[in-house]
Structure 1
Amino acid sequence: MERGDVPYLLNGAFRRLAYVSFGNPDNPPVICVHGLTRNGRDFDVLAQALSDAYFVICPDLPGRGASDWLPEGGLYQPASYVVALGHLLAAIGRPVVWIGTSLGGMCGMALAATEGSPIRQLVLNDVGPFIPRAALARIRDYMALGDPPGFADLAEVEAYLRRVHAPFGPMTDADWAHMARHSSRAGADGLLRLHYDPAIAEPIRASEPADTDLWALWPAIKAPVLVIRGAESDLLLAETVEQMEVSRAESYVVPGVGHAPSLTDEATIARIRRFIV
Structure 2
Amino acid sequence: MTQPRLDFVQCLDPHGLHRMAYWEWGDPSNGRVLVCVHGLSRQGRDFDVLAQAMCDHYRVVCPDVVGRGRSDWLDDPMGYQIPTYVADMVTLLARVRAQTVDWVGTSMGGLIGLGLASLKGSPVRSLVLNDVGPTIEPAALARIGTYLGQLPRFETVEAAADYFLSISEGFGTHTREQWLALTRPMLRRIEDERGVAYIPHYDPKIAVPFHAATPEMAAAAQALLWQRYDSLRTRTLVIRGAQSDLLTAQTARAMAERGPRAKVVEFEGVGHAPTLVDPAQVAVVREFLTTA
For the Cα contact (< 8 Å) 1:171–1:262, is it kept in 2? Answer: no
For the Cα contact (< 8 Å) 1:73–1:202, is it kept in 2? Answer: yes
Residue 234 of structure 1 is matched in structure 2 by 245
For the Cα contact (< 8 Å) 2:101–2:125, is it kept in 1? Answer: yes
Residue 75 of structure 2 is matched in structure 1 by 71
In the TM superposition, residue 175 of structure 1 has moved relative to its aligned partner by: 1.5
Give me the CA root mean square deviation: 1.4
Q: What whole-Å deviation, never above 9, does each CA across 1:37-95 have from its counterpart, x for those lacking one?
A: 00000000000011111110000000100111111222211111111111112223320
Q: What residue identity is the alignment partner of 1:220?
A: S
For the Cα contact (< 8 Å) 2:36–2:104, is it kept in 1? Answer: yes
Of residues 172, 188, 201, the one that matches 1:195 is 201
Residue 180 of structure 1 is matched in structure 2 by 183
- Distance between the aligned counterparts of 2:41 and 2:81, measured in 1? 13
In the TM superposition, residue 25 of structure 1 has moved relative to its aligned partner by: 2.1
1:209-224 aligned within 5 A: 209=215, 210-211=218-219, 212-213=221-222, 214-224=225-235
In the TM superposition, residue 147 of structure 1 has moved relative to its aligned partner by: 2.4
Q: What residue identity is the alignment partner of 1:156?
A: A
1:81-230 aligned within 5 A: 81-91=85-95, 92-143=97-148, 146-148=150-152, 150-189=153-192, 190-209=196-215, 210-211=218-219, 212-213=221-222, 214-230=225-241
Q: What residue identity is the alignment partner of 1:106?
A: L
Per the normalisation by structure 1, the TM-score is 0.95
Equivalences, count: 275
- Distance between the aligned counterparts of 1:35 and 1:191, measured in 2? 24
For the Cα contact (< 8 Å) 1:7–1:17, is it kept in 2? Answer: yes
Residue 262 of structure 1 is matched in structure 2 by 275
Q: What whole-Å deviation, never above 9, does each CA across 1:10-46 have from its counterpart, x for those lacking one?
A: 1141211101111112331100000000000000000
Residue 54 of structure 2 is matched in structure 1 by 50
Which SS does the other structure have where 2:121 is aligned?
Answer: coil
- Distance between the aligned counterparts of 1:188 and 1:85, measured in 2? 33
Q: What whole-Å deviation, never above 9, does each CA across 1:182-217 have from its counterpart, x for those lacking one?
A: 110112422211000111111112223545522111
- Distance between the aligned counterparts of 1:39 and 1:33, measured in 2? 8
For the Cα contact (< 8 Å) 1:126–1:259, is it kept in 2? Answer: yes
Which SS does the other structure have where 1:142 is aligned?
Answer: coil
In the TM superposition, residue 137 of structure 1 has moved relative to its aligned partner by: 2.0
Where does structure 1 lack aligned partners over 5 or more consecutive residues? none
Q: What whole-Å deviation, never above 9, does each CA across 1:96-142 have from its counterpart, x for those lacking one?
A: 00000000000100000000000000000000111122222222233
Tell me which stretches of 4 or more aligned residues in structure 1 moved more than 6 Å.
none
- Distance between the aligned counterparts of 1:133 and 1:110, measured in 2? 21
For the Cα contact (< 8 Å) 1:114–1:220, is it kept in 2? Answer: no
Residue 22 of structure 2 is matched in structure 1 by 19
- Distance between the aligned counterparts of 2:134 and 2:168, measured in 1? 23
- Distance between the aligned counterparts of 1:3 and 1:147, measured in 2? 25
Q: What residue identity is the alignment partner of 1:216?
A: Q
Distance 1:234 1:118, change over 3 A: same
Q: What residue identity is the alignment partner of 2:176?
A: D
Moved more, 85-94 or 65-74: 85-94
Q: What residue identity is the alignment partner of 1:25?
A: P
Q: What residue identity is the alignment partner of 2:267?
A: V
2:282 counterpart of 1:274: no
Which SS does the other structure have where 1:116 is aligned?
Answer: coil
Of residues 39, 45, 48, the one that matches 1:35 is 39
